[in-house]
Amino acid sequence: MIAPPRCSTARIILTAGLVAMLTHGAARATGYAQPVVDLTPYLFDADPALANRLISVGDPNGTPPVTPADRVDPNVPTSPYAGVVSINTISPDGSFICSGTVISDRHILTAAHCLDTNNDGVSDANLTSSSVIFNHQPSPTLISMQSVTIHPDYTGFANPSINDDIAIIELASPIPAGVPIYGLHTDPFVTAQALIMAGYGTSGDAVNGYNVAPNFFVKRFGQNITATFDVDDEAPFTQPELFFWDIDEDGSATDTLGDGASIGNFFETTIGGGDSGGPSFVWDDVNLDLVPQADELSVFGVNTFTLDLAGLPSPLFDSVAGGVLVSAYDNFVTANIPEPASLCLLAVGGLALCRRRAV
């Protein structure tokens, strides 16, 4: 039996002017020295009806053991993930939690279904009531929405496809001082990529499932590898638009997507409800110190779904999740930011080479 689609938003409850919630789960990652497997991505053809909109850890009794608490990011300005925000969407359908990424001083990149709470392809967010929450300090900063722009090809989550699930939130005021702005990774997806994911969603582990509620103020991060894509759902049906990963058990021969073994029990993670809209970063370790810095991260994709395949729902080992590729939607993003962000490539020796992306 196929499970009904679930989105990565989670219904939340408001408490005393601040949000107490239900979100989805992210997992934490430290710098990884492990090389990226040099695999050419291969096409993945799955039924969108299998998709769930939803970071979670490996085996709590593995080697080394790991728990969701190990993946919590400190809410400090020096965190490389200080520009990953939580989103409280208030709509006639209720109050929901998602994640997002700062891509300019007034814009947040997220999933379209985070704003489309009744799944008809149109934003349902009440702009004055909805807010973006910055957790770069011990005390959060809430900024309301000025406007939202959903990709024109998005018609609802898995309605009929899971493509085009991308949106931009314009803030009513600029981001707080000290919050990093991330660039976009627009290179074509032609080889496997190591990812760092971050978000505020439901957490848990790959043995027992989800058991930690999402939280607007608790961000987790983790890692995985992607080497699998699916293409545009509009003609000519050739451009990669979706990326996928699986969560592998350390030491297991099972590899659902054939994209390589686990990167280690402490590092390998997947997403959960409330992580939707959050980033999958690629990391260029310019400093060669194995410690991610905000200016070394660029947004490879927007995390948007999990897939229940062969009776393996997330976050269990061998389950599959993924999102939309930023490289497929670069023109949409830049067209909706009045002053396109610069793309900076840090060359060996620290020389910054920047270009402005044309709208």
The amino acid at residue 206 is A
Fold of 10-356: Thrombin, subunit H (2.40.10)
Instruction: With CA atoms as reference, report the closest residue to 299 among 181, 154, 206, 204.
Output: 181
Query: What is residue 60's predicted lDDT score, i.e. its pLDDT?
Result: 65
Amino acid at 192: A
pLDDT digit string, tens, across residues 75-107: 899 999 999 999 999 999 999 999 999 999 999
Task: Look up residue 328 and give its DSSP letter.
Answer: G
Mean pLDDT within 282-290: 92
CB 340 within 8 A of CB 168: no
pLDDT of residue 40: 43
Q: What is the mean pLDDT of residues 215-224?
A: 92
* 42-46, 178-182, 241-245: the lowest-pLDDT one: 42-46
Question: How high does pLDDT run on average in the chain?
Answer: 78
**Is the four-CA dihedral 212, 281, 42, 264 of positive or negative sign?**
negative
At 120-155, the pLDDT tens digits run: 999 999 999 999 999 998 899 999 999 999 999 999
Q: What is the pTM of this model?
A: 0.81
Pick left, alpha or beta for residue 294 (phi over 0 → left; psi -120 to 50 → alpha; otherwise beta). alpha
pLDDT digits (tens, 9 = 90+) for 32-73: 222 233 344 444 455 544 444 434 445 566 666 656 676 688
List Cα–Cα distances, 44 to 2, 227, 230, 245, 356, in angstroms.
Answer: 18, 10, 5, 11, 33
Three-class DSSP category at 331:
helix
In this predicted structure, what is the pLDDT of residue 290? 87
- What is d(CA 185, CA 165) in angstroms, rounded to the nearest whole number? 17
Helical spans, DSSP H, in the chain: 330-335
pLDDT at 297: 97
